[in-house]
């Protein structure tokens, strides 16, 4: 049983990239689908497909490489089940001086740090990707 589905998603992607897999699969949820949508919009993954495996919904993520080098060099879970991290608009973190992105859960859904600043929204910092 997975107690933190976001950490599980990040670890599966990191492990797939380290092993140079073309794609990784994971159990589906609405939160994971939204998080993967943000990663796809930012260009960190190629695509996401929803499938069924043994009667359970599964997400298949196509990983992205440039000249056989992974696009994602690092991922970090910020807000954890035991220690939630909430920020206001003035405290939204910049990841690697703007090269990476922080993904926030706001009242308007999941969005990147830049989108959150433009919208004038704070929220829970889920993870950082660079």
Fold of 5-70: Ribosomal Protein S8; Chain: A, domain 1 (3.30.1370)
Question: Strand locations in 89-122, DSSP E?
Answer: 101-106, 109-112
Residue ranges of the chain assigned to CATH 3.30.1490.10:
75-129
pLDDT tens digit sequence for 24-57? 999 999 999 999 999 999 999 999 999 999 999 9
Span 75-129 CATH architecture? 2-Layer Sandwich (3.30)
- The answer to whether residue 1 scores a pLDDT higher than 80 is no
Q: Where are the alpha helices (DSSP H) in the chain?
A: 5-18, 30-41, 113-119
- Sequence ranges of the chain with CATH classification 3.30.1370.30: 5-70
CA gap 125, 102 in Å, rounded: 7
Residue 35: strand, helix, or coil: helix
pTM of the model: 0.94
């Amino acid at each position: 049983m997975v107690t933190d589905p976001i950490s599980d998603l990040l670890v599966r992607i990191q492990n797939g990239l380290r092993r140079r897999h073309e794609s990784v699969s994971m159990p589906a949820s609405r939160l994971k689908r939204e998080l993967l949508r943000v990663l796809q919009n930012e260009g960190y993954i190629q695509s996401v497909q929803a499938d069924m495996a043994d009667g359970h919904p599964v997400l298949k993520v196509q990983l992205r490489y440039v000249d056989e080098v992974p696009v994602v060099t690092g991922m970090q879970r910020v807000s954890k089940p035991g220690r939630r991290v909430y920020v206001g608009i003035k405290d939204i973190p910049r990841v690697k001086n703007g090269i990476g992105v922080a993904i926030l859960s706001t009242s308007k859904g999941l969005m990147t740090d830049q989108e959150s600043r433009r919208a004038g929204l704070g929220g829970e910092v889920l993870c950082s990707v660079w």
